Structure 1
Amino acid sequence: MITRNEFVKLATATGEMQAQVFRPNVDGSFPCIIFYSEIFQITAPIARSANILAGLGFVVIVPEVFHELNPMGTVLGYDDAGKDKGNNDKWAKPLESHDSDTQAIIEFVQAQPYCTGKVGAMGVCIGGHLAFRAALNPNISGAFCLYPTDIHSNTLPCEPANDSFTRAKDITCEVVLVFGKQDPHVPVEGRQMMYMHFQAIGLNYQWLEVNAQHAFMRDEGERYDPALALEMYSKAQQFFQRTLA
């Protein structure tokens, strides 16, 4: 499908947030995917990923995940300065604020005539964690989490016992988790910890480990794996066509 996109501004519990909406450029309503970015916010690779998903028949909304900590429209570079700023933002924003952002996004898309009202979550890196976290919201019907960081290590700020590892027991929708075996951010020990925990609590999940490094979906840089990225888009399309039907 040919797509269109626009920026929107949403009121959240922690201030106004900008998001970019990608959707099929045809009449009708489509299921929605909240696509959570890396720490760098809405970079060109993130926008291209969102546009691919929109072309597959979804409304895709990409929020500025650290809107409270940056001027509206901020995009960080894939360099040391951008990485340092993004990581500082990651450690400064509590998960509870991400939760309220997700609720604001859901309320927005469910009020739009181009959305069916069915909403899923997808993300990469910290965005994979935020997609997993979004699955705690009962309005989320499925989450596709690509190399989600900080779940096993519980390093994101939050109230006691409100971390995503502990709260996983409260997720009722289906979740897909994809990890690169060569990803130093989620080492084998961390993956084993999550796998065993999710088994023990009865999480409805699919688990996939691939021969890839961190950020293998990002179509800039030496870690990009184009064939594997295409496979993930296909898996995500099938997953959301089923869970958001």
Structure 2
Amino acid sequence: MSARGEWVELGGGLRGYYARPDGAGPFPCVVIYIEAYGLNDHFKRLTERFADAGFAAVTPDLYGGATYAYADLQNAIGHLKRMDDTTVLAQTERTLDFLAGRAEANGSAVAVIGFCMGGRYAFLANAALPARFKAAAAFYGGGIGPAQDVFGRETLLERVGDMQAPILLWYGAEDQFIRPEEHGRIAEAMSRAGRQYTLTVFPKVTHGFFCEDRSSYDKNAAERSWRATTAFFHEYLQHPVSSRVLR
């Protein structure tokens, strides 16, 4: 049976799209970060898909209702440039507080996931809010470890030592926005800090491979990463990694 999602108020004027499994719960939770194109139909379906997989899932509408067609890269990037990390982290905390207030949601067992722009936010939130997450996944997160961020944002590798939750990192080998040398910088920073991570690069796959509405969609990579990520989330939300491992 497919879960039905709904728009909800998350606090402070922030809305989100929320879906939950049938039953009383409490269910493990997932916070989902959008791509640069906004909270569109793909992310509504993804929220419901996580609910079908056994999670109380919520996607905060970081764009305040704005969405952009996948062909409209110019305006999507223009909106991305106006985003502020401090504001997004505050919105994330409102989202987490929303989950903590839901009887069917286990607010102490939360994972975070993001795609493209949202992949960077998932990586950032895992470092900036380490007490709030038990697992994380970042899909082709642009801006995590570039030599210099093209949008002038803070790069994030100096923050990896603050992470406590393990993280999955998913990339395509043909992604022209995130090149192999960035994979290397991320892996080196994570390993030097003693953090738990898995970095996977799919061959012959490019940016946006997970989204079925984009021309870059790759069914094999999307299905494999979905199965691995949901299994990973279930494992670590039910049996959180000991903080002693990551210190």
- Do these two structures clear the TM 0.5 threshold for a shared fold by scoring above it? yes
- Residue in structure 2 matched with residue 23 of structure 1 by the alignment: 20
Find out whether 1:4 has 2:4 as its counterpart.
yes
Paired with 1:203 and 1:215, the residues of 2 have a C-alpha distance of: 26
| Paired residue total | 232
RMSD, aligned CA: 1.6
Q: Does the 8 A contact of 1:94 with 1:157 survive in 2?
A: no
Paired with 1:169 and 1:56, the residues of 2 have a C-alpha distance of: 31
- Residue in structure 1 matched with residue 74 of structure 2 by the alignment: 84
SS of residue paired to 1:10? strand
| Per-residue Cα deviation, 1:114-168 (whole angstroms, up to 9, x for no partner) | 101211101111111111111121111110111111111253556xxx6422211
Q: Does the 8 A contact of 2:208 with 2:214 survive in 1?
A: no
- Residue in structure 1 matched with residue 221 of structure 2 by the alignment: 228
Find out whether 1:116 has 2:106 as its counterpart.
yes
Which of 87, 93, 96 is the equivalent residue of 2:86? 96
- Residue in structure 1 matched with residue 136 of structure 2 by the alignment: 143
Q: Does the 8 A contact of 1:32 with 1:119 survive in 2?
A: yes
| Per-residue Cα deviation, 1:86-127 (whole angstroms, up to 9, x for no partner) | 212222222111111111111110110110121110111111
- Residue in structure 1 matched with residue 191 of structure 2 by the alignment: 199
SS of residue paired to 1:244? helix
Q: Which ranges of structure 1 fall in alignment gaps of 5 or more residues? A: 68-72
**Percent of aligned pairs sharing the same letter:** 22
Counterpart residue type for residue 11 of structure 2 = A
Q: CA deviation at 1:27?
A: 3.0
Counterpart residue type for residue 229 of structure 1 = A
Counterpart residue type for residue 125 of structure 2 = A
Q: Which ranges of structure 2 fall in alignment gaps of 5 or more residues? A: 239-247
Paired with 1:164 and 1:11, the residues of 2 have a C-alpha distance of: 27
Q: Does the 8 A contact of 1:34 with 1:121 survive in 2?
A: yes
Moved more, 221-230 or 112-121: 221-230
| Per-residue Cα deviation, 1:196-230 (whole angstroms, up to 9, x for no partner) | 12111212111111121100111023211112211
Paired with 1:148 and 1:163, the residues of 2 have a C-alpha distance of: 12
- Residue in structure 2 matched with residue 58 of structure 1 by the alignment: 55
Counterpart residue type for residue 11 of structure 1 = G
Paired with 2:103 and 2:155, the residues of 1 have a C-alpha distance of: 34
Paired with 1:35 and 1:214, the residues of 2 have a C-alpha distance of: 18
Which of 89, 97, 111 is the equivalent residue of 1:107? 97
